[in-house]
Structure 1
Amino acid sequence: MRWTKKAAPVEQSDREPELSAYQRAMRNRLLAAPAVPAPEPWRRVAFEPVGGLLGIGFASHPDSGRDLVMVVSHDGHGLFDAVTGEKIARDRDPDPVDSTPDAVADLSCPGLGPVAGSRVRIAGLFGGGLHTTTEDGWTLEVVAPAWPNERVLLSGDGGLPHPGPHGERWWHIFHSNHSELRAAGFSPSGRTIAVATSSDLSLWTTEVRSH
């Protein structure tokens, strides 16, 4: 047997590379931006406690076409009207076979209420994702200048690095400093923003509530 010389182990530094001046300035700008209300035409319609939230997904009402938000948690499934923020359906005991999205390859769960009989793709703890842009120019980003606390930024300037002042073309609309962020994004229609953490659901809409 032929023996070869054992290579010396590669030394690894215990220190992370320092941030550049540009990166430090960007981090400081993000840290200095307080959480503020979303700009018009967005309005917040829900901040709903949901213990043990695992993920969320969007669907459309088969009659009105309005955005719906499905929530999957350890306590079952729920469905919210994204224009009013109201819970319109609840299943506390879904079939264990596919009660969580990781049971199937496309990360979906069976719909309920007006979307029963269809499946809704869920983004959150098990993977998946939501739209980060809209056709009319809005962008949603998740940043963590003070990890693990994540912040959700809404902008009309195309996203980072946000050259303008905070509150003019970009807004820090949600600070996840109380629970772990699960998902954040727009509905496919671009009319709804949903932000989900392990303990709550927040919704914003551009639609006017009808009476």
Structure 2
Amino acid sequence: MFNQKNRLSGLLKNIPKSSTPSGWDLFVKIAVGGLTEIGFSRQYHNLLLTVSSSGRGVIDCDSGEKIARDYEEYGDWYDPFNLSCLGIGPISEEIIAISGLCGGGMPTVNHYGETLTRVAPEWPIEELIWCPLGKDPLIEQFQAGCIKIASDYFRCAGFSWNGEFIVAATSSDITIWKKTAINL
């Protein structure tokens, strides 16, 4: 196991660090104390549901604003073991697939072919690595273009359902990246 850790650490040393991958903007970092889970709406791809020890919130990832909030700690709206939560505000009729403290997962690839990989050679600290189409951070000859975009104690990380947002969540904050507009 020690040799595998050394091999992984050696591979990861080749990947540069940057807070923003090509074609993306580091958009906003939002404090959310006691964060347990998050999940994107499938109907409104820019809306992110947050679940914390003090209720639910909805963040509009296009503006970075909190657009809905409640302070109910627990209720039949929340099912962490089935990884689902009823939305609030503009997504109040939608059951949101959540990811975080109890597991789950967010998309790790988008329709552009970009990928996100979480690795933890220095566990519990994880590295979040973004890669362009056809690249892989764990295969030396395919690492070109991969970027370490964050390092933290992640609850979860992934793309929105439409692939236009990246989110990385810890127990205390959410970082959101937004795909930049392509000028034709």
In the other structure, the counterpart of 2:157 is 184
- What is the TM-score with the length of structure 2 in the denominator? 0.86
The question of whether the paired residues in 2 share the 8 Å contact of 1:141 and 1:152 is answered with: yes
Q: How far 1:154 moved relative to its partner?
A: 0.4
In the other structure, the counterpart of 2:52 is 73
Corresponding position: 1:106 with 2:82: yes
- What is the TM-score with the length of structure 1 in the denominator? 0.76
d(CA) in 2 for partners of 1:203 and 1:119? Answer: 22
Larger radius of gyration: 1
Structure 2 residue aligned with 1:92, among 71, 77, 87?
A: 71
CA shift in 2, pair 1:115/1:154, >3 Å: same
Question: Would you tell me which structure has more strand in proportion to its own residues?
Answer: 2
In the other structure, the counterpart of 2:114 is 138
The question of whether the paired residues in 2 share the 8 Å contact of 1:57 and 1:70 is answered with: yes
The question of whether the paired residues in 1 share the 8 Å contact of 2:117 and 2:130 is answered with: yes
Corresponding position: 1:30 with 2:12: yes
What root-mean-square deviation, in Å, do the aligned CA atoms of Structure 1 and Structure 2 show?
2.3
d(CA) in 2 for partners of 1:165 and 1:120? Answer: 35
The question of whether the paired residues in 2 share the 8 Å contact of 1:137 and 1:158 is answered with: no
d(CA) in 2 for partners of 1:34 and 1:52? Answer: 31
**Residue segments in structure 1 that go unaligned for 5+ positions in a row:** 1-16
**Aligned pair count?**
180
Question: What percentage of residue pairs aligned between the two structures are identical?
Answer: 34
Corresponding position: 1:51 with 2:28: no
d(CA) in 2 for partners of 1:136 and 1:107? Answer: 27
The question of whether the paired residues in 2 share the 8 Å contact of 1:141 and 1:154 is answered with: yes
**Residue segments in structure 2 that go unaligned for 5+ positions in a row:** none
The question of whether the paired residues in 1 share the 8 Å contact of 2:11 and 2:140 is answered with: no
